[in-house]
Amino acid sequence: MAELEQIEAEARTRISEAESLGALETLRVEYLGKQGSVSALLKTLGKMSPEERQEKAPKIQGLRQAVAGALADRKQAMEAAELEARLAAETLDLSLPEPAEPKGSVHPVSQVMDELAEIFADLGFAVATGPEIEDDWYNFTALNMPESHPARAMHDTFYFPDQAPKGGRMLLRTHTSPVQVRTMMAEGAPVRIIAPGRVYRSDSDATHTPMFHQIEGLVIDRDIHLGHLKWTLETFLKAFFERDDIVLRLRPSYFPFTEPSVEVDVGYSVEKGRRVVGGSGDAPGHAWMEVLGSGMVNRRVIEMSGLDPDEWQGFAFGTGVDRLAMLKYGMDDLRAFFDGDVRWMAHYGFSAFDQPTLSAGVGASA
Ligand code: DAH
């Protein structure tokens, strides 16, 4: 029986020295597993005489319980130590100084898009979106530019090899105007939306990047006329540039998706080498600058979007968000918008707390 005591002593030592739960499990298997040494001793009971068994059984059972108990105690101690260590490591030191000033900033394009959404929300416009990977039909055909239309050539389109479900090939949308069609088809009339987003053209210099941003506007209702268009654009531009002396000039133009079409100019002057919007372009020291394309939505577009053009009319407009940002905040190279240079962002970016609101002035603390 001295043998049992020796086994127990040895087991206790090894268990107390085990360094991990894995090592403990190996020991458990070694002693108490099916092939374990203590289990083997238990199996010898069956072959003993009743007298011998009566004497040895309690001792072998005692050994088994002692080993099992030692294993359980050690395991509990290890788990407690681990929890202790985690609690010690995860404490929050409230005496530490506050974190450094946040360095991130809001890109001027995002800021201007938020400003536009705020201004147009106040005029009752909802924000609509559409896919950047677009079907030829929505980007061109439904906007009254069938396959042979010369205006298509002006768009320097990036095409995919894939056939589009509605005809032609898939492409990266060249303007936000397809959102007009998608919105009319999905929601019917009346419509009052703006659609800001990314657009793509194969073009690159100081004033053109292959990806840029536009915002589209669409109003469809009964008895809408050019007067509504002019008032809306004037109200929008006054709110955006935060000046009452904004003067618009509407010039007859041509877009396939509007009839009649007008290009909208604003008067500006140059102060300290920067264009400053305001005043009539005909005033001394002033000139006109084109800022928007617009017009009354072409009947054919309304028809292709599933509405009856005898019942529903409307106006649309489109403009470049990046250009609006440059004009308002004074950047001169469009390419820098998309370089991701942190110094440029630190200079031109906005604080996340700078939420544009009409009451505070959209772009108040720029
Ligand atoms: N889609 C035109 C472009 O990218 C801009 C435009 C002009 C949009 C006139 C309009 C519009 O909605 O009426 O050049």
Please tell me if the CB atom of residue 134 comes closer than 6 angstroms to any atom of ligand 1: no
Residue 123 in contact with residue 240, Cβ under 8 Å? no
Q: Could you read off the pLDDT of 287-343 as tens digits, one per residue? A: 999 999 999 999 999 999 999 999 999 999 999 999 999 999 999 889 999 999 999
Distance 293 CA to ligand 1 centre (A): 5
Atom of ligand 1 nearest to the CA of 319: 5
- How far CA 88 is from CA of 79, 118, 163, 194, 346, in Å, comes to 14, 49, 61, 54, 39
Q: How far apart are CA 322 and CA 328, in angstroms?
A: 10
Q: CA angle, 103 as apex, 99 and 104 as ends, to 5°?
A: 125
Q: CA angle, 197 as apex, 261 and 236 as ends, to 5°?
A: 55
Distance 331 CA to ligand 1 centre (A): 24
Distance 23 CA to ligand 1 centre (A): 73
Nearest CA to ligand 1 atom 8: 318
Question: What pLDDT is attached to residue 109?
Answer: 97
Judged against a pLDDT cut of 60, whether residue 218 lies above it is answered with yes
Mean pLDDT of 186-203: 97
Question: Do strands 126-127 and 191-200 pair parallel, antiparallel, or not at all (unpaired)?
Answer: parallel
Class of residue 324 by CB neighbours under 10 A (exposed 0-12, middle 13-18, buried 19+): buried
Q: Could you read off the pLDDT of 108-138 as tens digits, one per residue? A: 999 999 999 999 999 999 999 999 999 999 9
Please report the beta strands in the chain, taking only residues with DSSP state E, as ranges in sequence order: 126-127, 133-135, 159-163, 169-172, 191-200, 211-221, 248-255, 258-271, 274-277, 286-297, 313-320
Q: How far apart are CA 343 and CA 63, in angstroms?
A: 73
Atom of ligand 1 nearest to the CA of 297: 13
Judged against a pLDDT cut of 60, whether residue 365 lies above it is answered with no
Judged against a pLDDT cut of 80, whether residue 101 lies above it is answered with no
Predicted model pTM: 0.73
Question: What pLDDT is attached to residue 364?
Answer: 46
Give every CB contact of residue 8 below 8 A, 6+ residues apart in sequence.
63, 66, 67
Q: Could you read off the pLDDT of 128-181 as tens digits, one per residue? A: 999 999 999 999 999 999 888 888 888 899 999 999 999 889 999 999 999 999
Please tell me if the CB atom of residue 173 comes closer than 6 angstroms to any atom of ligand 1: no
